[in-house]
Structure 1
């Protein structure tokens, strides 16, 4: 992995907040981060999106204006939204983690529970230029993503989570896992990789990783390198329920890729097909399969920890 480059001095940032993220934690984290940034001599333009469309418009306006950095206070969904505006722009992303999963922040080594420390990264950190992914779903939807594209069992869990109205928060996701586990079945998949390799077999899931983790620290693609111009693709073969129950704890350690039920590939692009399955990227719904997916090399600047001379 290539090392990050030194950031030039940042004098002004746009701080974009999702007030609903993390059960309301984002608004409080944003206030604390803004106060620290101002203490450090940074001009802060604080903005709050009323919904996803409004937030995206605010992000695009900030990028078009040439803000010094677009700083997001929220979770992976809010970062995913910001990526739609930031990709290829040269405007760096700053992160104040305040979501449920925080997999982007975890990937970049940004403090997860200390808004002031995360704000210090904006001031004292360095810029790392990383890859992004682009997916086009069967319905024509195009989405830029930064972490992992999920299809199969995990996307069925996300479908179920979105259908449930109770309970709230993480418990709703846990309930969705139980429901989908009871309905677990082999899913027919067909993947075509950039080199012509074809994978055509029943799977439990297929994950396409630009980075290593999703779902709040599940290391589904432990070998993923966000700067190598390639996706890591993790395919979990169809298994009986008991074997799946024993398998999934290994995903939190990233040791699942050593098992015979898992195969991995690296590719700069792929087509992925599975009837009736939806794709989720950065934890957000994208659209139905089949989908075309490709790497956007070195298309995002991120503020990451590291000392620079000012």
Structure 2
């Protein structure tokens, strides 16, 4: 930025969650000013915090720019955002274009709180992996080697041995669907989770819908077989233990306290009762 004579004001978060406040303050101060651009540098969790800060500010339509520098970078993968610094600077110099991009929004019926997300909200298996990965001393080391997504792979087999099952109910288009042997349930805005895993290949960040995926418990051998299908050709979606629903609004309820993750950041271990709906935000690139 300095080499190209672009004036910047930089704020660096000092603790988890601070980016929400930083982004809210920036949106309220600069959101309506011409030739001012809000840029987030970090991982999907950082983008999530910035999105929530902007959406809950007095200028919720403030465009957000994003340079992926995290572990999974699934949002950048879904939107095909560049990882090249020079291309980003070039866009700023000529004036970036703004695009309306889908995001998810949910209300927690237990607490009354609401949040937005760019990737997905997962409960169970994937969230357990996130919990272990985020608390692993290896995460920073792998990120420094630019193979950060490997941290999820390393913890997959440990979670296979420990993840329990739970009951899930999904309401879509007025109808309830019940599952008593759930392994994980994820509501997603696009295909990817866990650093590039295409959980639901047909999901799209541009179709103005959310998808809820429910995977029921199978044997460990069968589960590994499903994972192989997932990586090879996406045929795992045809398995009778794999269910998915697409809609503008969905409700997900679970029994038993379970790990949860929101855009790769941990949620409190709890029972979940969530109303989901599709939303959008302005992304510049």
Classify the TM-score, shorter chain: 0.7 to 0.9
d(CA) in 2 for partners of 1:168 and 1:110? 23
2:273 corresponding residue in structure 1: 291
5 Å matches for 1:31-70?
34-35=1-2, 39=4, 42-67=6-31, 68-70=36-38
What is the number of equivalent residue pairs in this alignment? 265
Asked if 2 retains the 8 angstrom alpha-carbon contact of 1:149 and 1:207, the reply is: yes
2:98 corresponding residue in structure 1: 127
**3-state DSSP class of the match of 2:41?**
strand
Counterpart among 118, 129, 140 of residue 157 in structure 1: 129
2:201 corresponding residue in structure 1: 222
d(CA) in 2 for partners of 1:209 and 1:64? 29
Counterpart among 46, 51, 60 of residue 83 in structure 1: 51
**3-state DSSP class of the match of 1:135?**
strand
2:118 corresponding residue in structure 1: 146
Asked if 2 retains the 8 angstrom alpha-carbon contact of 1:193 and 1:270, the reply is: yes
1:259 corresponding residue in structure 2: 239
Counterpart among 257, 264, 271 of residue 276 in structure 1: 257
d(CA) in 2 for partners of 1:268 and 1:57? 29
Asked if 2 retains the 8 angstrom alpha-carbon contact of 1:52 and 1:81, the reply is: no
1:88-120: per-residue Cα shift (whole Å, max 9, x none)?
7111111111111111111111123x2222333
Larger mean CA deviation between 69-78 and 153-162 belongs to 153-162
d(CA) in 1 for partners of 2:37 and 2:267? 26
**3-state DSSP class of the match of 2:50?**
helix
Asked if 2 retains the 8 angstrom alpha-carbon contact of 1:157 and 1:173, the reply is: yes
Asked if 1 retains the 8 angstrom alpha-carbon contact of 2:152 and 2:194, the reply is: no
Q: Does structure 1 residue 136 correspond to structure 2 residue 136?
A: no
**3-state DSSP class of the match of 2:126?**
helix
Asked if 2 retains the 8 angstrom alpha-carbon contact of 1:135 and 1:144, the reply is: yes
d(CA) in 2 for partners of 1:249 and 1:140? 39
5 Å matches for 1:22-33?
none
Provide TM-score, normalisation by structure 1: 0.76
Structure 1 residues 225 and 168: CA distance shift in structure 2, 3 A: closer
Offset at 1:189?
Answer: 1.6
Asked if 2 retains the 8 angstrom alpha-carbon contact of 1:189 and 1:273, the reply is: yes
**3-state DSSP class of the match of 1:48?**
coil
**3-state DSSP class of the match of 1:52?**
coil
Structure 1 residues 191 and 296: CA distance shift in structure 2, 3 A: closer
Counterpart among 185, 188, 202 of residue 209 in structure 1: 188
Asked if 2 retains the 8 angstrom alpha-carbon contact of 1:192 and 1:198, the reply is: yes
Offset at 1:156?
Answer: 1.9
2:227 corresponding residue in structure 1: 248
1:250-296: per-residue Cα shift (whole Å, max 9, x none)?
33454422333322211222222222113312111234332323224
Provide TM-score, normalisation by structure 2: 0.82
d(CA) in 2 for partners of 1:268 and 1:97? 27
2:86 corresponding residue in structure 1: 116
Structure 1 residues 70 and 293: CA distance shift in structure 2, 3 A: farther
